[in-house]
Amino acid sequence: MENSSLDNLRHSCAHLLAAAVIDLWPNTKRTIGPAIKDGFYYDFDFGDIKITEDDLSKIQKRMKELLKSWNGFERSEISVDEAKEMFSDNEYKLELINEFSSEDQTLTSYKSGEFSDLCRGGHCDEPKKVLRNFKLLSIAGAYWRGDEKNKMLTRIYGTCFIEKDELKAYLSMLEEAKKRDHRKIGAKLGLFTFSPLVGSGLPLFTPKGTVIREKLEGFVSHLMKPYGYQRVWIPHMAKIDLYKKSGHWDKFADDIFHVSSKKTDEKFVLKPMNCPHHAQIYASEQRSYRDLPVRFSEVTTVYRDENTGQLQGLTRVRSLTQDDGHIFCMPDQIKQEVMNIYEIISQFYNAFEMSLRIRLSTHDTEDMDKYLGSEQLWKNSVDTMREMLEDIGREYEVGVGEAAFYGPKIDFIAQDAIGREWQVATIQLDFNQPERFELEYTDSDGQKKRPVMIHRAISGSIERFTGVLIEHYVGVFPFWLAPVQIQLVTVGGDHKLFTQDVQDKLLEANIRVEIDSSDEGVGKKIRTAAINKIPWTIVIGDKEVAGGDFTVNVFGVDEDLKIKAGELIKQAQKFAKFPV
């Protein structure tokens, strides 16, 4: 499709959606309708009218009817007064018009058919011909401009593709995603819960869910071991001054939880990130070039004041636990340290059979006010990261404007079992915090110099990655990660003592095992184990008590596994090891 990107197509479809809604409900106030990663949305104020997902088919039908008269998008430059007259009864558009006019932006309107909208542009050519493969997906509430102090609007989501087969494949993936919803599976398997008394976005992990967390933490620790990391510990709160000094306060003040005290005038916050704390540990003693690199690691929770409407199970929470790490090194050590982190990340995601896409996230040279440090410093930092990626030999894309405010990043995007992508691990270069905190080391020439700070996370947020894994595996975790690894099923009451002895020996060998000695039939016990997605189920009857081989029903495998009685623990331990 010439001269039209997928984003332009989707933005055009948002216009079409707005046109259909206004045609069906003329008193509706429209707001904004951008293209997003997998489609588009448009936010509306329907007044007293309640719109539900049952209305989507009606809206979509009207979209298709209106599309017949949409030959193109006619662009017009309009004055502020004309724009205000055009939207005189729409306070949302008037707010945007006032903002745009104060910034001396040229106001433009685009018309298709009989529908006109205030818009900056970016549309497809010949919409009647190319804008065919779309589908409205869902309805949600959304605060105007994402601020919960504003009115709740109705957001209609949709998607659109260039080819019909692409739309069909995407809709099939969405259906599969519903089956894999980690919120439903997690509740069914008893992995985590939420409590209104605790608060939204603050997950509580059960003993079974905590096993998964601990195994993920242990796996990262296992992979880090050859690289000389030292564990540290920091508190969950800090003075505001720390984040003002680091530069985070100016960027994230609205996303930080404040902590008050009746006994002091000091102002504290729940920590939104760990790097300034780790910088203080580095600064607590004099460092020599012989000491570097200094590598700190920690598994700790940070807190972000997310809007309640944006919270979603484990994948968007207010308390997120990071397998965080910070390296303080000399400039000539950067390359090797990044290569080491890359190796850890590669091994970690290979274990889950997740392919990784790499993005070099850089600054936007046309919007340097968003970043700390000079443009030359940023150029040097990006060039350093680019050279390292070239040395690794992996293909990568460049994300302009996607950098952290203190430095460029190498971001890793994992693909799950059904093709969805999740931004997960990251490696971030930081020349700014060492400068702000005046971090130093004594070089071989006796001069005081600034170290470079490298931020790294492997799984990212453990909560979010657990949610991703639940959906990736549909709750069928590999043996080493499963909360319960073996279910022992007794045939009758006279087999209980022997089964208990087997369990004791397995527990002593650090195998997670449970017994089902209920009065239910063996078949039902096996089905219950399957419902709980337990990797191995072993039925114990007369044969097993007499010393016969164990028959292992392996979840998802048609053929049973035969293990000699004396080999059970050894075989279980083999499968229980970390995969790398």
Residue-wise DSSP of 40-104: EEEEEE-TTPPP-GGGHHHHHHHHHHHHTT----EEEEE-HHHHHHHTTT-HHHHHHHHHHHHTT
Task: Find the Cα–Cα–Cα–Cα dihedral 504, 505, 511, 512, rounded to 10°.
Answer: -20
CA 180 from centroid of its chain's CA atoms: 16
Judge whether 79 and 100 are in contact, CB under 8 Å: no
Annotated catalytic sites, by residue? 275, 304, 322, 324, 326, 409, 455
Judge whether 348 and 481 are in contact, CB under 8 Å: no
User: Is the CA virtual torsion 335, 337, 341, 346 positive or negative?
Assistant: positive
Measured at the CA of 291, the angle between CA 285 and CA 294, to 5 degrees, comes to: 80
Cα–Cα distances in angstroms (integers) from residue 534 to residues 242, 480, 483, in the given order? 46, 11, 8
Q: Are strands 192-193 and 152-161 parallel, antiparallel or unpaired?
A: unpaired
E strands of 243-396, at which residues?
A: 258-259, 268-270, 294-303, 319-329, 355-362
In angstroms, the CA 330 to CA 441 distance is: 9
Cα–Cα distances in angstroms (integers) from residue 296 to residues 220, 397, 453, 489, in the given order? 14, 29, 11, 45
Q: In 103-247, which residue ranges form alpha helices assigned H by DSSP?
A: 127-130, 164-179, 182-188, 207-224, 240-246
In angstroms, the CA 268 to CA 253 distance is: 12
In angstroms, the CA 344 to CA 351 distance is: 11
Q: Specify the DSSP class assigned to residue 444.
A: T
Report the DSSP beta bridge partners of residue 327.
295, 454
Residue-wise DSSP of 494-514: GGHHHHHHHHHHHHHTT--EE
